[in-house]
Every structure is written in C-alpha cells, then in structure tokens.
C-alpha cells in the first residue's frame, strides 16, 4: 500500500497526523474488504486552498472540512469486481497498486470541529479520513439511507481503531 502524504497548511497540526493517516486508511480498506493493494494521496491544507478546490469542483464557494476525489466509479459501494476490466485506467503501472483517489483535509477545520464537537483532534482527523475513504470506495450520503450506512460504517471503523468521541 502506498499512502502519499503532503502537508501544505501554514498552521501546524500538533498531533501525529501521519500515524493517524497510516492507521485509518488501511483500516477502512480492510473493513470494506478491498482485495487490492492501493495507492491513496492525502493532502493536508488550509481553508483558503480547500475553499478554492470546493469552488472549482463543487461550485461551493466556502471552505469545507474534507474533499474526496475518487478515481473509480462504483455501481455498488466497495464492489471492486469491475476494476480488472480497466487495468490501464485503474492501476499504477509501476507498482500494480489500485489508484483509489485523493483526499484533501483542512487543518483549520480539524481544529475547529474537534473543539466544536468536544473531542480530540486525533478523533476528528480520523473521522474525516474514514468518511473520505468511504467516498473513495463508492459510498455517498445524498439520501437518508446512504447517510445512515456511512455513519454506521464510520462508527464501526473508528471504534475498532480506538477513535471514540
């Protein structure tokens, strides 16, 4: 598994963010029974940068906590059965790893939301990563059912890894 981590935020995040990323990303993939070694990119940035991305890709001119950029289209959540039909599009030719997608996290939002929700920054970062990884695996929360499914999975994954509220 390759997890590329970039830290572009000016504000520091005084938690072991790399350790949390390297813990949560594979935990989600294990929970979702992903049968492949994967490559995921994680960018930790600031509110102005994530706002610019949010405006460009979602037409929402405001900062957000996390953005997910999946490389795969899923007919059903975590159904990886179709990816081998598109080997040239879905796998890194150098490593053979499945290119799952990119995650962008606002460091400022991690801090703000941890305080707002009364839990640690570690838990907030872990939550945002789990949430985003589920998006990379094809989950969505546009309707009530999808939201409930994602919330349950997030709760289970985070609980298994000890990231409780």
Q: Which pLDDT does position 87 carry in this prediction?
A: 65
For 77, counting Cβ atoms within 10 Å of its Cβ (0-12 exposed, 13-18 middle, 19+ buried), the class is middle
Q: What is the pLDDT of residues 20-66, one digit of tens each?
A: 999 999 999 999 999 999 999 999 999 999 999 999 999 999 999 99
Contacts of residue 50, Cβ cutoff 8 Å, sequence gap at least 6: 63, 64, 67, 104, 105, 106, 109
- Strand partners of residue 23: none
Residue 68 has pLDDT above 80, yes or no: yes
Q: Which pLDDT does position 86 carry in this prediction?
A: 72
Q: Which pLDDT does position 75 carry in this prediction?
A: 86
């Amino acid at each position: 598994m390759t997890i590329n981590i970039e830290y572009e935020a000016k504000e520091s995040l005084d938690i072991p963010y790399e350790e949390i990323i390297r813990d949560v990303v594979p935990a989600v993939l294990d929970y979702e029974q992903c049968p492949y070694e994967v490559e995921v990119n994680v960018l930790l940035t600031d509110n102005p940068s994530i706002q610019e991305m949010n405006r460009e890709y979602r037409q929402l001119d405001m900062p957000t906590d996390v953005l997910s950029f999946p490389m795969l289209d899923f007919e059903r959540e975590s159904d990886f059965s179709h990816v081998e039909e598109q080997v040239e599009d879905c796998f890194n030719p150098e490593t053979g790893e499945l290119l799952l997608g990119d995650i962008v996290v606002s460091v400022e939002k991690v801090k703000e939301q941890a305080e707002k929700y009364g839990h640690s920054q570690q838990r907030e970062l872990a939550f945002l990563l789990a949430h985003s990884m589920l998006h990379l695996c094809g989950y969505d929360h546009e309707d009530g059912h999808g939201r409930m499914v994602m919330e349950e999975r997030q709760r289970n994954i985070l609980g298994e890894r000890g990231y409780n509220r």
